[in-house]
Amino acid sequence: MKKILITGVAGLLGSRMAEWILQNHAEVKIIGIDDLSGGYIEHVPNGVEFHQLDITSDEIADLFKGVSIVYHFAAYAAEGLSPFIRKFNYRSNIVGTASVVNACIEGQVGRLVFTSSMAVYGVGNPPFKESDLPEPIDPYGVAKYACEMDIKIAGSQHGLDWCILRPHNVYGRNQNIWDRYRNVLGIWMFQNMNELPFTIFGDGRQQRAFSCIDDCLLPLWKAGVDAWASKKIINIGSWRYYSIQEAAQILKEVIGKATIRYEAARHEVKDALPAHELSISILDYQDNTTLRMGLKMMWDWAQKQPRRSQKSWDKYELEKGIYQFWKNP
């Protein structure tokens, strides 16, 4: 039986990918790893062989033996927070990925699919092309770029096959909406459910390519199995671009009522927009879900979720320069 291993299987991409594979490829056995630091066991579908492990631990290695495809999604992906938790960010992203790469090489894995990020481009020159020279502006982007380079080296030196994806603002059912540092749409949903205004940083004119997870699943599969995807770096992202203000307005209409509060601008890229040619030609990416449709699905799901409290860091590694809105919950 073909084996696929997913790290971060309790998270958005991991849980939804596992579900999609179980529905579309019943012949596949799925091994899932997650330490549940940012994902929820309730989101891991029945049928996954689940292991609660930290990917930086050597204990993961045995699970990789005889695996055809590894989807490596596990990471703490809080880009804006990353300058204030540098060490944690590099441990989670770089040390974690190094551990996965070692296990892939030793286990003779067929292909490693790694989710890098649009964060590698930095300010760039949107729409970002995969051939653009990365120039990240924060430690999260630096970490993702370092992982990309490390994986390429493992490819040339140890014969590891790989495909690197650069997702752009993926959202949808099973997203963590209880983390105040990441995933703006989920943060707004949490705020609204707790009778708080949506927060927008700066003037709200910054643009993003919000991408519904449902449109990313077939492309993720192809990144693992298609010969054309071998040793390619490919953006995954919607070709409809929205400003943060527009996104807030759409969510407000989906929910029915909401207020908005503007906060001081923070250190972030103005327009993070992907070029699409490769995602379409190699991965068959199709932008089927408008932001309104995707938010409707996510909001319907969010309302049925347990009332969890919001994750907050007790102590940041660095307090200097931290934004007021993160100092005082």
The residues of the shown chain that bind ligand NAD, judged by CB under 6 A, are: 8, 10-14, 33-39, 54-56, 73-77, 92, 96, 115, 117, 167, 169-170, 176
Cis omega (within 30 of 0) for bond into 127? yes
Q: In the block, which residue shows the tokens 């039986």?
A: 1
**Tokens at 181, concatenated:** 């540092």
Least distance between ligand NAD and beta carbon 74 (Å): 4
CB 152 within 8 A of CB 219: no
In this complex, which beta carbon is closest to ligand NAD, that of residue 257 or of residue 271? 271
CA distance 278 to 293: 25
In this complex, which beta carbon is closest to ligand NAD, that of residue 20 or of residue 76? 76
CB 164 within 8 A of CB 234: yes
Least distance between ligand NAD and beta carbon 90 (Å): 12
In this complex, which beta carbon is closest to ligand NAD, that of residue 112 or of residue 170? 170
In this complex, which beta carbon is closest to ligand NAD, that of residue 36 or of residue 193? 36
Least distance between ligand NAD and beta carbon 93 (Å): 7
The H or E element that residue 19 is part of is helix 12-24
Distance of CA 88 to the CA centre of its chain: 17
Tell whether the torsion through CA atoms of 275, 276, 279 and 285 is positive or negative.
positive
In this complex, which beta carbon is closest to ligand NAD, that of residue 114 or of residue 198? 114
In this complex, which beta carbon is closest to ligand NAD, that of residue 111 or of residue 195? 111
CB 162 within 8 A of CB 152: yes
In this complex, which beta carbon is closest to ligand NAD, that of residue 14 or of residue 45? 14
Least distance between ligand NAD and beta carbon 10 (Å): 4
In this complex, which beta carbon is closest to ligand NAD, that of residue 26 or of residue 120? 120
CA distance 262 to 242: 17
**Tokens at 322, concatenated:** 């931290």
Instruction: Tell how many helices (H) and how many strands (E) occur in the chain.
Output: 10, 14
3-state secondary structure of 161: coil
Least distance between ligand NAD and beta carbon 320 (Å): 25
Q: In Å, how far are 94, 110, 177 from 309, measured between CA atoms?
A: 29, 40, 10
Please choose, from the candidates 295, 7, 310, the residue with its C-alpha nearest in 3D space to the C-alpha of residue 169: 295
